[in-house]
Structure 1
Amino acid sequence: MREVLEGSHAVSEAVRLAKVQVMSAYPITPQTHIVEALSEFCEDGTMDARFICVESEHSAMAAVVGASTCGVRTFTATSSHGLALMHEMLHWASAARLPIVMAEVNRALGPGWNIWMDQTDSLAQRDTGWIQLYCENGQDVLDTTLQAFRLAEMVNLPVMVVLDAFFLSHTYEDIDVPDQKAVDRFLPPLSPRIQLSTQNPCAIGQMSPPAFYTENRHSIQAAMEQVQGRFENIQEEFEPVFGRKYAPLEAIECEDADVIMVMAGTAASTCREVISDLRSQGEKVGLLKLKMFRPFPTMLIRKILGDTQKVAVVDRNFSFGVSGIFAQEIKAALCNHDNHPPVFGYIAGLGGRDVTPDILKQVYHMTKTASFPKEDGVWIDLNN
């Protein structure tokens, strides 16, 4: 059934369809609409689920960690400083191998106080052991949230579904909301491999001495190494039922491109139009859209970008003292590839600024006319 939904409610509908059993949340703009809708579903009986109101985002994650440990399907959502407050508990969730799903609405970190779009909040959590999937539009949000539960429960790792503040979370779109029976066939009830039970008592999260700690972390990495293949397998099951599929990376007009632009989130939609426009003018330019950031699809990056002439990465984030985070990761993926192309990094769209077609065309022409990057990250559209 097609409905006009805002991006936040696309998440809520997916959580309803996934038949989540326990949710906890502390409201923070701009993710509040997600959990408001879910609390109403619990209140009016639309969902047979427990909604736990907590006093902070740290407590929200702690609550779903506890619930997931008991073997039920769990969900939460957050943004920005809320995610930062969760940081400690993110490690507890991943190291305990819990299949929690969380919607993370990208929002800038303060000060100065800013509630608008910026990817630094989620990317700052890149080393916590969570799978990270970035969404481009409302349909992508709904589908990715459903797939996240399947993926998390396959590999026993938590998944962060990431969407842009306001550009996506508060924008209404025409979205296909699947039938419950179809979702039930795709996403069966959770059959937990890790579970506290009075019938089979055990201890979870105990002291891990040096003789065992490294092996625990190695098991997380081994699970991460399965994620890309599992994600691709999920697409093969998802497409026949729902008519859509996604890839860890999407390459648009990259086969003969001399310059490939790389970005994630809603700016990729703008770039699609820019690529089409530039192509009509005879420019050999392509777009690589990042969907999966953790685990980072290094081999796919090398395959797609390794033989192009130049790469232009547009980051809506920044790691102070270095450069844009996506640009760092792209460089690291390519550094051991023979004759790899130069990677040009650009910083744009921080704190909710628009990444306009003119900005992306500027990025393209700057990259095309330069022989080599003169600095690690060029700041675009500064107020001088």
Structure 2
Amino acid sequence: MRAYLNGNEAVAAAVKLARAEVVAAYPITPQSTIVEKIAEYIAEGSMAADYIRVESEHAALAACYGAAVTGTRVFTATSSQGLAYMFEMLHYVSGCRIPMVMAVANRGLAAPWTIWADHQDAVACRDTGWIQLYVETAQEALDTCLQAYKIAAHPEVLTPIMVCLDGYVLSHTEEIVDVPDQEAVDRFLPPYRPEYKVDTGRPYVFGVGAGPDVYPAFKFYQQQSMMKAKEVIKEIDREFANLFRRSYGGLVDPYCCSDAEVILVVMGATAGTAREVVDFMRRQGERVGLLRLRSFRPFPVEDLKELLRGAKAVAVLDRDCSFGYEGVLATEVKAALAELPARPQVAGFIGGLGGRDLTPEDLAGIFRQCLAGVRRLDKGEAIIIGGGWQK
């Protein structure tokens, strides 16, 4: 079925198709309409799930944690300050290896207070042990939520997943979305039947205390599972493509990279504009390309090495800032390429903070600076687009 949906509606449709059994909800702009739409599904009887209205985002994730350890497929969603309020529970969920899915409608963090999009909220949770997948379109938001439930519950992964979609640009912008039928989704995503759960017949302890003698083992296996997730993400994307005829490349989505002199690395919806800019500059004879990073955690080091090794320069566009240094993605890309014998120069750019538009002219300007030879490469001095505002 084809429907005209925005990104939030597409996520809600995916949660319904995934047959989530418990949804914990606390509203925060711009994600609120995700849980509002799910509430409509439950109220009209088209979705069989328990809907828990909680007093905070921290409580929302705690409720999902409690439901998930009983062997229940769960869902919640948040944004910005709400995700920050969940921070303590993020570690509990990942440390207990709870395979849940949470949508994050990306929004800048206060202060100053804003409701507009950037990636600071999710990127700040980089080290919490959650897989982070960033989507470009409403269609990809729906499809990635379905994939995420299967990835998270894979026996070699057992790791929670954030599906990140840019606030307003995706969450509130409508497009034609192919909504798969329930029978096809059921073939792709079987019921959630975990081996370990709260069961009086087979008692287990979740969130147990651990001394220094065993604590490192827990973290070792958590890291191993995150690394194994790289292949699982690719494998499930291929499986999804075989059934639904749509693929997103697994960890990365390259465009015109094979012969490019300059490659722009981005995450999220900015890739749509960047792709048009690449086409325009290619028609002018410039050898430029785009690499959309779909998986921020686990970080696709091997893919980046393979796809970027032939470029003369790599421009990394962050919608976040690690204050005192540079954009987080730029740092990660530099580290990934550090061992290449003849690695490309890497230039970091920061833009789109607090919802500021990233125009085709902005992106073309990044390409042109790199083609001309940016002189701030590898110094941690990211160029901030829209910085230097004066009264």
Distance 1:11 1:271 in 2: 24
Once residues 181 and 217 of structure 1 are traced to their aligned partners in structure 2, the CA distance between those partners, rounded to angstroms, is: 38
Say if 2:293 is the partner of 1:274. no
Contact 1:342/1:372 (<8 A) preserved: no
1:75-114 to 2 correspondences below 5 Å: 75-114=75-114
Q: Which amino acid aligns with 2:362?
A: I
Match of 2:323 in 1: 320
Contact residue 107 and residue 116 of structure 2 kept, 8 A: yes
Determine the structure 2 residue equivalent to 1:231.
Answer: 233
Shift of residue 307, structure 1, vs aligned partner? 2.3
Residue aligned with 1:211, SS: coil
Over the matched positions of the two proteins, sequence identity in percent amounts to 47
| Equivalence for 1:53 | 53
Displacement after TM superposition at 1:241 (Å): 1.4
C-alpha displacement of 1:381: 2.7
Residues 1:332 and 2:335 are matched in the alignment: yes
Structure 1 counterpart of 2:370: 367
Distance in 2 (alpha carbons) for counterparts of 1:257 and 1:275: 10
Which of 163, 168, 172 aligns to 1:166? It is 168
- Partner-residue secondary structure (3-state), 1:173: strand
Does the CA-based 8 Å contact 2:259-2:310 persist in structure 1? Answer: no
Contact 2:104 2:122 in 1 (8 A): yes
Who is 1:219 aligned against? 221
Give the deviation of 1:40 after TM superposition.
Answer: 1.6
1:204 matched to 2:198? The reply is no
Equivalent in the alignment of 1:18? 18
What is residue 128 of structure 2 aligned with on the other side? 128
For 1:177-192, list aligned pairs within 5 A: 177-192=179-194
Q: Give the alignment's TM-score, normalised by structure 1.
A: 0.98
- Per-residue CA deviations over 1:269-324 (Å, capped at 9, x if unaligned) read 00000000000000010000000010000011111112210000111111100101
Gaps of 5+ in 1: none
Write the deviation string for residues 327-383 of structure 1: whole angstroms up to 9, x where unpaired: 011011011221211110111110001110000011111111125425520011333
Q: Give distance in 1, aligned partners of 2:28 and 2:185.
A: 29
Q: How many residues align?
A: 384
Specify the code of the residue in structure 2 equivalent to 1:187: L
Supply the distance in 2 between the matched residues of 1:102 and 1:7 (Cα, whole angstroms). Answer: 14
Q: Distance in 2 between matches of 1:160 and 1:322?
A: 25
Cα deviation for residue 202 of structure 1 reads 2.3
Distance 1:35 1:183 in 2: 21
- Relative to structure 2, which stretch is displaced further, 199-208 or 327-336? 199-208
- Structure 2 unaligned residues grouped into runs of 5+: none
Could you tell me whether the CA contact under 8 Å between 1:359 and 1:381 is conserved in 2?
Answer: no
Distance 1:38 1:190 in 2: 19
**1:45, CA displacement in angstroms?**
1.3
How far has the Cα of 1:157 moved from its partner?
A: 0.4
Query: CA contact under 8 A between 1:343 and 1:373: conserved in structure 2?
Result: no
- Residue 71 (str. 1) matches residue 60 (str. 2): no
Does structure 1 conserve the Cα–Cα contact (< 8 Å) formed by 2:196 and 2:204? no
Distance 2:369 2:76 in 1: 41
- Report the Cα distance in structure 2 between the residues aligned to 1:215 and 1:128, rounded to whole angstroms: 17
**How many Å separate the matches in 1 of 2:374 and 2:113?**
39
Q: CA RMSD in A?
A: 1.0
Alignment of 1:2-13 (within 5 A): 2-13=2-13
State the one-letter code of the partner of 2:84. Answer: A
How far residue 236 of structure 1 moved from its aligned partner, in angstroms, is 2.0
The separation in 2 between residues aligned to 1:53 and 1:254, in whole angstroms, is: 47
Distance 2:237 2:105 in 1: 24
Q: What is the deviation of 1:198?
A: 1.6
1:371/1:84 Cα in 2 relative to 1: closer, same or farther (>3 Å)?
A: closer
* Larger deviation, residues 22-31 vs 203-212: 203-212
* 8 Å CA contact retained: 2:22, 2:75: yes
1:193 is matched with 195
Q: Cα distance, 1:15 vs. partner?
A: 0.1
Contact residue 21 and residue 73 of structure 1 kept, 8 A: yes
